Chain A
Amino acid sequence: MAAQTSSSHSYLYYRHALPVRVMHWINVVALTILMMSGLQIFNAHPALYWGKSSYTGRPPLLQIGTRDDERSGRIGVTRVLGFEFNTTGVLGLTEHDGNPQEVAFPRWATIPGWYSLAMARQWHFFFAWVFVLNGIAYVVYSITSRHLGRDLVPTSRELKGIGGSIKDHLLFRHPTGEAGKRYNVLQKLAYVAVIFVLLPLVILMGWAMSPWLDTVIPGWVDIFGGRQSARTLHFSAAWLLVVFVLIHVFEVVVSGFWNHLRSMITGNFRVRERAS
């Protein structure tokens, strides 16, 4: 918003190139659908394990379900590493149009919004291709256009100033003027970690769950602890992406929501220069 004062002037700066903007929004759509259809797929067997198989004699790491409680009747429960939590209303047992639903993740969080593993798989595997092809296009573009080297990889000087950047973030202090044109060092590190660690991990662990792709080099899945470990890592990485998105959207909101939103749609970012 044009919060102009007499001591500052502002101008529009072309911050995000068209390919980056297009690929960003394709990613928003694809990842949202992947997450929600993924939760529906998880609902078909709401438990996570570590190892090559689910039935090893060890209990699951995580399990979502229902049970009858002496005092409260039917309750939704989530068991994590042997600890049980009553998660009625959120996980295991929720309400939909006044009817109790015994599903792990509630209907509002899944695609489709009713129990259908078959349909969820169709959504998931279609948008997995959208996501992978978009990701490949992004990496190729970022390297060839030097977006990666210029905008994303932090310089050693920036890395040395990381303490100051952490402090700025904690105090919600946002760069203005020239500094506002660039990503700050924490932002760069977060983007690089998501683009080159978390997203490839989630893709690789998806492949690891495919019995056919497991045959490319028999046994490669064991590097990650086996197929069920890969499933657990896939699930965990997906939730780390949700955490990233929450922080990302939070930062966008507190550092000028409309300005950032516009810059990711039209490319133009308003830079404010301050006299002080």
Chain B
Amino acid sequence: MKLYPIGSRRRALLRALGGTGALLLAGCDRLSSTDWFPKALEAGERISKSVHHFITPRRAMAQEFSEADLSPQFRSNGTALPDNPEYQALARGGFADWRLIVDGLVEKPQQFTLAQLKAMKSRTQITRHDCVEGWSAIGKWTGVPLSEVLALVHPKQQVRYAVFHCADPMAEGGEDFYYESIDMEDAYHPQTILAYQLNGKALPIPNGAPLRLRVERQLGYKMAKFLMRIELVDSFARIAGGRGGYWEDNGYQWYAGI
């Protein structure tokens, strides 16, 4: 049989392939640096959110696990200790002077002490925490369902989002506090709780003491730690970078169900 003389052709081909690869990469990087292209890519997020909401029941529950599945140590990610003198003073006092402010578009704005929140109806759930980076950890959370707190403040009709303001500054000089937001479907979900316990003990500071949010159908960055205030709004466009969260303002998706 006859073989083609492929030696020189193979070299040309490899060069062509390498050239195409380099061109593709340079092209992709150039597109990533434009203003319009990443915005166009956000169509993917919109389609995912719509399709996910369409195919799952409103009250679809995240998987709950058994004690045997608990991670030996629950990893702390992001801020381990807020660089905030006021927060640190509250921590020294065992959070006795800490208050959760719930306000915004509500009929009855209120403040809650930790003791008041602990006296309310509670829920304990063993769930998996999925970080946007790719890792997962399983922990047992105890807290008050957000719906219980909302029932006491009477949200107004036009409320669309709950915004969570945190004690941890994300920039030097104590500025740019961490914040997050969820829609009311998630806010009223039975597994959406304000957790004050992890694995049966008081929530440790690296995991968000005294109170952190659990939104079990979304990624970890949604689950704001070191909660100070919950603000109910009809739009988050005027808050900080306007995209509904600290990481969202830094290019991450607002819909973190994926």
CB distance from A17 to the nearest CB of B (A): 25
A216, B60: Cα distance in complex, Å = 7
Q: How far is the CB of A251 from chain B (nearest CB, A)?
A: 13
Closest CB of chain A to B133's CB: distance in Å? 4
* B71-A117 in contact (CB<8A): no
CB distance from A92 to the nearest CB of B (A): 17
Interface residues of B in 123-161 (CB under 8 A from A): 128, 130-138
* Interchain Cβ contacts within 8 Å, total number: 159
Within 8 A of A (CB), among B21-70: 24-25, 28-29, 32, 38, 40-45, 47-48, 52, 55-56, 60-65, 69
Residues of A contacting B73 in the complex (Cβ-Cβ under 8 angstroms): 55
Question: Across the interface, do B135 and A54 meet the contact criterion of CB distance under 8 Å?
Answer: yes
* In the assembled complex, B219 has its CB within 8 A of some CB on chain A: yes
B92 sits at the interface (CB 8 A):
no
Option from A47, A111, A219, A257 in Cβ contact (under 8 Å) with B63: A219
A 206-246 binary contact with B (CB < 8 Å = 1; else 0): 00011111111011011000011001000000000000000
Q: Flag whether B225 is at the interface (Cβ < 8 A).
A: no
**CB–CB A212/B136 < 8 A:** no
Interface band, chain A: 35 or more
Contact of B62 among A36, A114, A117, A215 (CB under 8 A): A215
Binds A, one of B98-106, B173-181, B195-203, B245-253: B245-253
Residues in chain A near residue B40, CB distance under 8 A = 126
Would you call B9 an interface residue if the criterion is a C-beta within 8 Å of the partner chain's C-beta atoms? yes
Instruction: Give the complex CA separation of A270 and B135 in angstroms.
Output: 51
List chain A residues, Cβ under 8 A from B64: 218
B107 to chain A, nearest CB (A): 32
Contacts A210-B52, A211-B219, A218-B62 given; does A125 touch B28 at CB 8 Å: no
CB neighbors of B among A12-34 (8 A): 32-33
B216 interface residue per 8 A CB criterion:
yes
Known A41-B134, A111-B28: A55·B75 in contact at CB below 8 Å = yes
Q: Choose among A114, A211, A222 the residue that contacts B130 (Cβ–Cβ < 8 A).
A: A211
Given A54-B136, A55-B72, A227-B130, A111 and B25 contact (CB-CB distance below 8 Å): yes
Task: Chain B residues near A275: list those with CB within 8 A.
Answer: none
B32, B73, B253: residue with the most chain A Cβ atoms closer than 10 Å: B32
Q: Which of B55, B63, B258 contacts A218 (CB 8 A)?
A: B63
Where the two chains meet, the residues of A that have a C-beta atom closer than 8 Å to any C-beta of B are 1, 3, 32-33, 36, 41-42, 44-45, 47, 49, 52-57, 108, 111-114, 116-119, 121-123, 125-129, 172-173, 209-216, 218-219, 221-222, 227-228, 231, 253-254, 256-257
Using a CB–CB distance below 8 Å, which chain B residues touch chain A? 1-4, 6, 9-10, 13, 24-25, 28-29, 32, 38, 40-45, 47-48, 52, 55-56, 60-65, 69, 71-75, 128, 130-138, 216-219, 247, 250-253, 257-258
Task: Provide a sorted-by-A list of 19 A–B residue pairs whose CB atoms are within 8 angstroms.
Answer: A53-B137, A54-B136, A55-B135, A112-B28, A117-B133, A118-B253, A122-B38, A122-B42, A122-B251, A210-B258, A211-B130, A211-B218, A213-B52, A215-B62, A218-B64, A219-B63, A227-B128, A227-B130, A227-B136
Give the 6 A-B CB pairs with smallest separation, nearest first. A212-B257, A126-B44, A118-B251, A55-B71, A215-B60, A45-B134
